[in-house]
Structures are given as C-alpha cells and as structure tokens.
Structure 1
Amino acid sequence: MADESYDVLVVGGGIVGLATARALVGERPGLRVAVLEKEAVPASHQTGRNSGVIHSGIYYRPGSLKARYAVRGAAELVRFCREHGLPHEVTGKTIVATAPAELPRLAALAERGRANGLRVEELTPARLREREPAVAGLRALWVASTGICDFAEVARCYARLAAERGAELRTGHEVTGIARRRDAVTVRLATGRELRCAVLVNCAGLYGDRIARLAGDDPGVRIVPFRGEYYELAEHRRGLVRGLVYPVPDPAFPFLGVHLTRGIHGDVHVGPNAVPALAREGYDWRTVRLADLADTVAFPGTWRLARRHWRSEVGELHRSLSKPAFLRAVRRLLPAVRAEDLVRAGAGVRAQAVDRHGALLDDFAFAGFDPADPRSPRRTVHVLNAPSPAATASLPIGAEVARRALAALDAGGR
C-alpha cells in the first residue's frame, strides 16, 4: 500500500516541472499535486546553471514548438517577472558576422526571425560600433526582444505560487522505481517509501529518458549530456561588453558557439563550449560516473552522432582543454580581450536528446499520453527533450504538459 496518494506526481523540480505544477493547480483548483525533486533544493541543475538569457526565438525553425514557445514564452516571462518583482531586463541581442562566409547565413537568420514574428534590425559596422564599441564584425543583426533574468529565482517563484494553491514541493525525494497499473501509478523512492498517483508527469531533465523507461515507456531517445564551460570577464573588464553578443551559428553544428552575455547581476559570461560530459551531472572533467558513461556509449545513436560531428567536436574539446584556443575563439568577436581578462566560471550540462540514428532532436519533444491517440499510455506524460530555450519557454511548456496531464487524468478517471 502506498504511503500517500495524489492526482498528479511531477518528477523533477527544475523550471519546467515547477511551471507544470503551477499550471496544474491554477487550471484545476483542489488538485492533489506534488513535485518530487531528488536534490535538497529545486532548480539545481539546468535551471540554475545557465546564462540567464530570455531567448527571442530567432534561431528556431518557423512553426516548430521551439519557435512558437520561445516567442510566446519570452513575452509571458517578461510580464511574469514584472508582475512578481523578479530581476529582469529586456536588453536586446546583437548577432555578429565576423567573416564573409557568414553573411548569407546572417541574412537567412534575419528572414527566419521575421518569419517567427520578431522585429529584426540589420546593422552596418558603424551601427554595430554604436551598440558594442569593442565588438568586431562585418555586419550584424539586432533583436530587440531578447532579455536576461535569474531563472533560479523564476523557478522558486513558480514553486511558491504553486504551493499557495496547494501543490507540494518534496525535495530529497529521488525516484528509483515506478509501477504502472490499470488504476494508478506507484512511485518508489530511494528512502523505500512509496507514493501513489493517478498520473505521473516526467520533467526529470537529465534523467528524463531513464524515468520514462522506469515507467515502462520506450522513449526512443537517449539523453546524451553535453557540458557547457564558461569563463567570465574580470570585473575591471566587464565594460568591454554592453549587452548580449552572439556569433552567427554554424548550421552544421547544433550549438550556438562562444558568445558574450551580460548577466542580470552585472557579471559577463563568455562561452559556452560544448563537450561530452562523462556523467549526467558531470560539471568538470574530474566527474566520471561509469553507469552514465556506459549508458551513453551503449546507445547506437551516440556513435552515429560522433561520426557526424567529430570535426566540430574536436574543436570544442581543444577549446575546453586549451585557454589560448578558447581565447582565439573569443577574439573573433572581442579583439581587445586578453588571457588575463578571462576567469574560469561555472559549467552547465545540457540534457540533449539523441535518437537512434544519431540526430539531435531539434525541437521540444513530449511522449506518453496524447489526447489525440487512444492507443497512447494512459497514466504517464513525459518531457523528453527540453534543452534551451526551455527556461524561456517554461510557461507555455508548463501549460502544454499540464493540459496533457489533465487530459490523462480525465481519461483514466480518479
């Protein structure tokens, strides 16, 4: 017999899980909801270890969930921060072409942004110097709707608002087993306790694929962790960067490249690179977990991904292990920066879903109960791929996951 019963249990106390809990109790007052977080505090991993950028949505394929949710989510998030007194600023973002070969990609990016409903301004070198005097480039784009905030504070606010409506946040609750039956789902914790729910929602981020498998669902993907390593500008050199400065992304590589980000608390982050992490919580090269590594290596998609992107990844590894190589990458945008200006900062791990063919999922992905498919699992909803810009898009993602969970609850009955 389970110790306690709920209508919905949400696994994962990051920003997506907390946004989902808030949406659930906001949509249906009186619903019995608990969020299970294995760490002592929420927002300990992806949510609390990113650059704090409220993304505009310019990079994403028109019509995709990422494009739609980022554009909508950015506007909603700014309103949310304003309403709840959370630190934020709409800074705008400069995307800079530093070589002639990047100019066609910059023009295509401008068209993509406009297709996504964004206001995009093209900058000449003179206009670029007006905005960012220390940044070098041939041409640039200005995207006014990009901003910055503290996503950990946003997540804590979601948790507080959900709690005010009756949801529970249970930290130190690591899920080790899931048994799905016709009438309910039983969740076993590392402490040996069991909780029962009508619907299980998986927002476990770095462990999303594992939670899906524990629930008896085949996610069809594996989370392959990539570590993003940052430097920051020394305090006396922060004036080199006024706002947010990004390179033109390389379409052959799925990450944005080294960029310059002025944070909401005044620091200026430089990075990240993107290197394979040797553990799902591998925030440095010293952290190795053999179970995580074996899980990654045993997945066929990992090897197909490596064959596809090995040249780009060699460059990322070089920049990880060599500060001079990292400095050269930074100087493409910021020629005045010196080695002594760069101070090691924190790192984050991106929960990137990879399919069996070695393709990185380029959109948000959900699985489990689907109201449009009567054959779908009735008591589980999974968020399988929600890397950046998931924090920006947390409000619409939370609303969508809550919609699926409530539909599953109604379909399965109480």
Structure 2
Amino acid sequence: MTNRPAPTLPTPAERRRLREAASLSQAALAARMSVTSTTIHSWETGRATPRGRALEAYASFLTTTAGRPGPAGKPVRTSRSQAGTAVKGAEDKARGEVGEKAEAPPEPARAEASRPRPARPEPPRPSPRPPRPTGATPREAFDALYASCAGVLVRQTYLLTGRHTVAVESVERAFQLAWARWPEVAVDRDPAGWVRAAAHEYALSPWHRMRAAHRRPATPGTVLPPPRGRADHDLMDALLSLAPRHRRTLLLYDGVGLDLPETAAETEATTRAAAHRVLSARAAVAERVPALADPAALHRRLDALSPLEPATEEQGALIRTGGERRVRRWTRSAVVLTAVIAGATAFCVSVAPDHYVRPPAAGEAITGVPPHAGPGPLSEEDRSLREKLREHPAAGPERVRPLPR
C-alpha cells in the first residue's frame, strides 16, 4: 500500500483569512472539525499543527474554501464516528506482535468497538473568548487559561478520583505548577493539555492513599453535586473499579474526545497499548453497566455525570498568588534550613581538634630497682630518746611561760 503524502497547509494568517472568508467563527469551525475552539485558535496562530485525520480534514476545508481541488483519495472523515474502527485496527495490528496480548479484551468487546457508531455530540463548552492582544501580560494570559479550562479539569479529575477535594486540589496544584513554569507553558503547543496532564498525574498519585482523609469514605456534595441516581452511582463505581491507567485512557478518549495517538502520547504509551486499554476499559464498564455498551452512550453519560463548574479570572488570580506565596514559603524554608546546616557545620569545624594528638603509651612495670622502704620498728635507744624528749621542760607547759628575771 502506497502512503499518500501529507497535505500541506498555508500560513497561519492565510488559514484565518480563509476561515473568515467562509463566514465561520472559531467555535463553528471547531464544531465541524470535532475539536475545541482553543485548538482552532492555536492552529491559526501557528502555535500548533494538526496531525493525522485532523490534518486531512483541516486541509480539505482550507482547499475547498480557497477554490482549489481537494487532496486526491477518499473523502476525509471530519467526525469521530469511526473511532471504534480506528481502535479495532490498532488492536488487530497489536495482536500481530509477538508477546503483546496482555491487555487484549474479549472478542465481544472488540466486535462492539469495531462497529461503526454515529457521531457523538460535542460536550457543552464555555463560550469562546475573544483572542487577547499580542501584548497581553503573562498574568493576564494565565488568568485567561484558568478561566477557560479550570472547570473542565475539575470535572475530569473528579471522574478520575471520585473525590471532590482531591479533584479541586489537583487542579490548583497543576495551575500553580504551570505558573511556576510559565515560560515553558506559554510556548507549549497546547497549554491546556500541559495543565491537564499535570492535574491527572497529581490526581492519580499513589501517595494519596497515605492521607488520613483518603482512608475515610468520600462525602459527595461538598464541592460538586453528588451523582443524581442509581445509574450514576453504578457508572462511578465502574470507573473507580478500573486500573488508574485504564481509567485515565478511557476518560481522555471517550470523555475528553482526544484521538487515539494524542491519548497515547498523553498517557506515555504506544498507540497499540492505548487501544488495548480503551477496549479493556469499555468491556469492564459494559460488564458492570450493560446500558453503556455503546461508546456513544458512554460518552454522553460521562459528560452528564459531573456538571461543568464555571471558573473566573479572579479565581485564577487567587490561584496564581497562592502559588507565589507557596513558592516564597518553600524558598524561605530552604534558606533557613541551609543556614542551620551551615551554622552546625561551622560549629563542628571550630570545636574539632586542628592537629593530631598522640595517645599516651600503655604503662610498663620497672624491674631492677628496690622498692621504697618505710621506717622500721624503734630500737631500745630510740624509745629512751623519745621518753627523754617528752619529759624535757621544753615539751611541757613551761615553754609558754616567761622566765622570771
């Protein structure tokens, strides 16, 4: 089979001109392309380049608008109605590899995934914001990014963890990390995807199991409304019963709406492994909730399970300032700890000996010298002399009396 050359795209400015010539807004073109308006904006500004089916669909739209003949070959599919077929193709390719059958789902799930399904409706998205001027400050750009995707990320992390506090904390930490690395995030081709990956990584961290709050049952309704019925509870239980990597892959593919290569790239897996995980997760969910055997129904239920929580730029400013305070606090703590270690080291150096002190040698017995002798017993002459001295007047009380003259 001969591969077709990848279609070429005009300049970013020409892409925007062609869209405006077709009297389409970014939101309308995004709905036609089954992507977000943020993705269309990144394509028109040159920050990102479409790939795969999105590239073919976008090139077909631009060539049709410009009046040029479209690329030869089959018509490009602009919707994800055949996503199950793509998953099936990747899965069939994986089965041909030696030793790669660990995560293959049962045959009914493969047949279900390979069956064409109708186009899935796009989830409700916030109204597209007008593009900010080029001279926008980093603070304004960060606040706009928070307002555009924070609510969606809270919903996604809630579906990953089933805990409202962990979901909100994960999104806050992800945005604080994004602000700390803003020079890197600002030039990324998909800043929202960068923050989403950070939030998902923090939400699925195994260290949360050691927290005291994680050992207690979750209390729904504290931040987001709880599941509304028995069906929602069953779906949430089915999601939480999946392995973390399968749960995240299913959410990205059937919940967020990413293509299979993008899902594999974000989960740091191969395309075949991502296809296996999607099929396995679908089979597990369908086993617990038979009504969700259809991927389109699963997509609708994932969107309706947790409603969108709106976010504002003022909340983004609070997250940003909170992250700055946290960085300052950790910096001060590091400086204090370094000063304490330096002081302890200086004290030890000052009191430590600065030269070698030779230890005293062990004592040895001296031979050949007579030992010291004490006084012996008194002889008869010594005793008489002692008595004489005691009887002498100088030894009696007369010695303290003056002599008469």
Q: Do Structure 1 and Structure 2 share a fold, with TM-score over 0.5?
A: no
Give 1 or 2: higher helix fraction. 2
Question: Is the strand fraction higher in 1 or 2?
Answer: 1
TM-score range, shorter chain: under 0.3
Larger radius of gyration: 2
Larger RCO, structure (CA 8 Å, separation 6 or more) = 1
